[in-house]
Amino acid sequence: MIVNGLKEYKSPYDKLSRMVRDGVYIPITKGIYETDASTPGYLLAGAIYGPSYLSFEYALQHYGMIPEGVIAFTSATFGKKKKKKYENKFGVYTYRDVPDDVYHLGIEYMQEGQYSYFIASREKAICDELYKQRPVSNYSELKAMLFGDLRIDEYELGKIDPGSLEIIADSYPSTNVKRFYRYIRRNSK
């Protein structure tokens, strides 16, 4: 679209390069630019590589489930078969697959001004995170992973909706996710 708007110039790509150098356009990834340098990086994650939604550590931090600040915008994809990483002025972006059958579950559409994006619900974000972790063989190992390794906040974990979690866990081909669902169901009574 930008190059089409520069057709009156003899060399539209040279003009675009000068506009990037002058800060009129800020490169996000090849062929995609932003005009506002103050745009929060999470709003751009879906435009860089997709289809994708924010999840894993970023979403867990967003919901206050982990205490650490997250240095990357972590997103879930499907059918890509490999991890991707991008860096630009707005931040570091990482993408990794989740199973195709669960990709569409537990995703929330968000709108902020002229931007829109998708983010995992708190239930989906923790399932995505548990999916990528090494398998655990019992509840003691699961608790050590949740509260030791991942540093999940127990109070925030109490905000998990067992009904929403059940829908996601039933479709997830992961012993960690299924064991987590049973743990939540057992401890929410």
Examine the pLDDT at 22 and tell me if it is beyond 90. no
Residue 64's domain spans which residues? 41-187
Q: Is the pLDDT of residue 25 over 90?
A: no
| Domain-embedded: residue 49 | yes
DSSP string for residues in 103-118: TTTTEEEEEETTEEEE
Q: What percent of the chain has pLDDT over 90?
A: 74
Domain contains 106: yes
- 57 lies in a domain? yes
Whether residue 120 lies inside any domain: the answer is yes
Q: Is residue 75, in this structure, part of any structural domain at all?
A: yes
Q: What predicted TM-score, i.e. pTM, was given to this entire model? A: 0.89
What are phi and psi for residue 157, nearest 5 degrees?
-60, -30
Looking at the 3D structure of the chain, how many domains does it have? 1
CB count in 10 Å sphere of residue 85 = 11
Strands 26-29 and 32-34 come out as: antiparallel
Which residues touch 64 (CB under 8 Å, ≥6 apart)?
Answer: 153, 156
> H or E segment at 28?
strand 26-29
Side by side, the strands of the sheet bearing 115-120 are 84-88, 91-97, 72-77, 53-54, 115-120, 107-112
Domain-located, residue 133: yes
Is 28 contained in some domain?
Answer: no
User: Is 27 a member of any domain?
Assistant: no
In this model, does residue 16 exceed pLDDT 80?
A: no
State the residue for tokens 């009904």: 163
Q: What is the pLDDT of residues 50-90, one digit of tens each?
A: 899 999 999 999 999 999 888 899 999 999 888 999 999 99
